[in-house]
Structure 1
Amino acid sequence: MAIVLGENRYGKAENGLVRVDRDGDEHRITDLDVSVSLSGDMSDTHLTGANDKVLATDTQKNTVFAFARDGIGEIEDFALRLARHFVTSQESIARARVRVASFPWQRLTVDGQPAHHSFARAGGGTRTTTVHHDGERAWVVGGVEDLTVLNTTGSEFWGFPRDEYTTLAETKDRILATAVTASWRFGTEDTEDTEDTDWASAYDTALAAMLDAFGGTHSLSLQQTLYAMGSRVLETVPEIVEVRLSLPNKDHFLADLSPFGLDNPGEVFYAADRPYGLIEGTVLRDDAPPAGPAWS
């Protein structure tokens, strides 16, 4: 029996990067988490410990900060720049994967006017991208995570199978809440086409489409809502060919106020964080090209 080295990669994960753009009096802030992962001709370092083909992870970190000096722009473009650099500058590197999370900040208001240099962390979800480049083609996945949404009504759950272990009561009116993690795959694999994509518009439109679908769907199940959200993204952003969604059900249970002599006409709830139902699914165009390595 032979023992061989399988697929492998290495990199510098979760590089915290903050850039302040100081053009004029009004500053702008970009807050990122950047992870780099490289693969290629790395067998020697695993089998013999030779490091002559290994670009140090500290060098990868330094590259991230050096590239930020010239500006970041859209996170998809920044990830593409980094991925292409690692592949083209190192003979031993055949593939580069860069994931970027962009944390939202909002400008404060001071004395009724927008502040020039004061910000508060916003809660509208974290924008993400994952880029994979192999020297010829680039695959781009966008997305959002930690986007918490809630409908106070317009959600039902009934008609499910009942057996000897079922205690859940059916309901025709419940709170529906979830923390959305969504990723969407762009159909192009051509490097020139990726440069022409309006990443900011695609993100804003996809996010608005998901929120519209969540708020506008009378939900008989969270699965139905998931499909509506993914479908709406595909209907409104032609560059996107596939959407993956992970929706944990954030349960809100009616508080029992009867021991205190009080009624509770659907007004007071307690939120339970675990355990929770986890609904996951993929919505895609029937002619979507096969998924590239940015998904994996």
Structure 2
Amino acid sequence: MTVKLGHNRYGKAGVRLVRVVREGPVHHLKDLNVATALSGDMEAVHLTGDNAAVLPTDSQKNTVQAFARKHGVGEIEEFALLLARHFVGAGRAVHHARVEIEEYGWRRGGPHSFVRDGGEVRTCVVHHDRDGRTTVVSGLKDLVLLNTTGSEFHGFAVDEYTTLQPTTDRILATAVTARWRHLGESGDHAASYERARSCLLEAFAGTHSLSLQQTLYAMGERVLTSCPELCEVRLALPNRHHFLVDLSPFGLDNDNEVYHAADRPYGLIEGGVLREDAPDAGFAWE
């Protein structure tokens, strides 16, 4: 039997970076979690243990921290692009760099005081290779949404193990993970993020849902029709089930008022929406 080395990459994950910019008594805060991954001519290190082509993961961590000081940290997409281009250009052995960043929000509590935002986490993934191909994917995770009505689920397939009852009125709740692919690598990423986020919220609130799949498509469609700089959206929507509590043993009715919020098990609905003329994603989603 003959075997060979398959796709591989290596890097540094969980690089926690906090940068403070001081403008007199007023301070500004950026709080990031950065992951880098490099690939290329790495056969020797796997097959013979020759480390000559390996840029240590500790060096990658140091680069993230040094670049935060040298170049500052603005939009996370721009910082990820800067890092990815550097790693590909730093050595002949590195053909491809992947940089993923999560940004944690803080609300100002004073000139130099901040309160951690309990909302969603902003994300991005940037790919860059030695042929100059670059892909920018922005997004968010843990955006918790809930509709108290306007959601149905019926007419589904039934087999011998089906116990779920059809409903024409239910709570629909989810924690959105969404990622959207840019047509180019430049642009106003802050404004694009706000537009895409608003579209997700509007579509969720404004769609009378017959299924979470239908809602997923409506959310992706709203983003693409409102944001011409984007060409593809992928969403993961866990169904955070809310079950009506049976209060009849206590002599009480329950007209859609008291629910049990179950955290598991949960349905997980995933899917993508893209423009018909969207360019090939290549490595954008790896």
Q: What's the TM-score once normalised by structure 1's chain length? A: 0.93
Measured in 2, the distance between the counterparts of 1:209 and 1:126 equals 17
> For residues 119-139 of structure 1, what are the alpha-carbon distances to aligned partners after superposition, in whole Å with 9 as ceiling and x for unaligned?
222122111100000031211
Runs of 4+ in 1 over 3 A off after TM superposition: none
Q: Is the contact made by 1:103 and 1:126 (CA closer than 8 Å) also made in structure 2?
A: yes
Q: Is the 8 A contact 1:105 1:121 kept in 2?
A: yes
Contact kept? 1:185, 1:243, Cα under 8 Å: yes
**C-alpha distance in 1 between matches for 2:133 and 2:12:** 22
1:19-67 residue CA offsets vs partner (Å, 9 max, x unmatched) = 1121232212111110000011111111111111110000000000001
1:274 counterpart (264, 272, 278): 264
TM-score, normalised via structure 2 length = 0.96
Q: Indicate the SS of the match to 1:27.
A: strand
The equivalent residue for 1:164 is 160
Q: Identity over aligned residues, as a percent?
A: 62
Alpha-carbon distance in structure 2 between the residues aligned to 1:124 and 1:52 = 44
Q: Could you tell me which residue of structure 2 aligns to residue 112 of structure 1?
A: none
Check the 8 A contact 1:97/1:294 in 2, yes or no: no
CA deviations on 1:266-294 (whole Å, 9 max, x unpaired) are 11111001111111111000111111212
Cα distance in 2 for partners of 1:148, 1:41 equals 42
Q: Partners in 2 of 1:144 and 1:294 — Cα distance?
A: 16
Which residue pairs with 1:178 in the alignment? 174
- Offset from partner CA, 1:164-191 (integer Å, 9 cap, x none): 2221111111100001011111123xxx
SS across alignment from 2:111: strand
One-letter identity of the residue aligned with 2:142: D
| Alignment-derived partner of residue 209 in structure 1 | 199
Instruction: Tell me how far apart the structure 1 counterparts of residues 159 and 51 of structure 2 sit (CA, whole Å).
Output: 60
Segments of structure 2 that go 5 or more residues without pairing to the other structure are none
Gaps of at least 5 residues in structure 1 are 109-114, 189-193
Q: Superposition RMSD on alpha carbons, in Å?
A: 1.1
Instruction: Return the offset for 1:243.
Output: 0.5
Identify the residue that residue 63 of structure 2 maps to in structure 1: 63
Query: Within 1, Cα distance between the matches of 2:256 and 2:276?
Result: 42
Partner of 2:24: 24
> Separation in 1 of the partners of 2:168 and 2:284?
40
